[in-house]
Amino acid sequence: MNGKGKEFTLKESKQYRLNEIVFRQGDESAFMYRVLHGKVGLFLDYGSSDEVKLAELLENQIFGEMGLLDHVPRSATAVVLEEETELETFTEEDASGFFEQNPESGMLLLMQMCSRLRSTTRRYVDVCHTVRDALDAESFGYQKNDELLARIAKYAAVDRERTANG
């Protein structure tokens, strides 16, 4: 692949249909995946009224690596977002060989993980600011403006209809 050492042999790839679930939040983690073609979404609480889309992954992006590294159940649900999405599947042994023979892919994975962590940190800080602003508005008797209400709804992932009937 990169001219260094022997070629890495693709272990397994599979085509998925639109809306097919690759793995579910809470599943055991035995594989990591690379998008060869198509698009995959990562969701918290997939299919519930509290569903939150965390990311959309495109060609050459890797997902499922956290569970493969730390052997903890899946933290999100992976769902195919484009017809005929093709994913390459790696076991821990496969991944080790792949990154050994393709160190640039290991660096890309680290950069991707850093990007996700930065994005999560930004969202966390925004949530903290939203909560602080809401508490300040209540403490000082201010009316919550539309922008603050939108931020609260966004991060609470509250269904408007359920809230109105609540």
Q: Which sequence spans correspond to the domains of the chain?
A: 12-120, 125-165
- The pLDDT score that the predictor gives to residue 6 is 38
Which run of H or of E encompasses 134? helix 103-139
- The pLDDT score that the predictor gives to residue 27 is 96
For residue 165, pLDDT over 60 is answered with no
What would the mean pLDDT of 28-42 be, rounded to a whole number?
94
CATH number, span 12-120: 2.60.120.10
Calculate ∠ Cα 14-15-17, nearest 5°.
140
For residue 8, pLDDT over 80 is answered with no
- Cα–Cα distance for residue pair 41/57, rounded to 1 Å: 6
Give the mean pLDDT of the chain: 83
- The pLDDT score that the predictor gives to residue 3 is 38
32-37 and 21-23 strand pairing = unpaired
Distances (CA, A) of 164 to 144, 147, 159: 17, 18, 9
What does DSSP assign to residue 121? H
77-80 and 62-63 strand pairing = unpaired
Residues constituting the chain: 166
pTM: 0.68
Tens of pLDDT, residues 50-62: 888 888 999 988 8
Express as a percent the part of the chain with pLDDT over 90.
33
Tens of pLDDT, residues 97-156: 877 888 887 888 888 888 888 888 888 888 888 888 888 888 888 888 888 888 887 776
| Rg, Å, the chain Cα set | 20
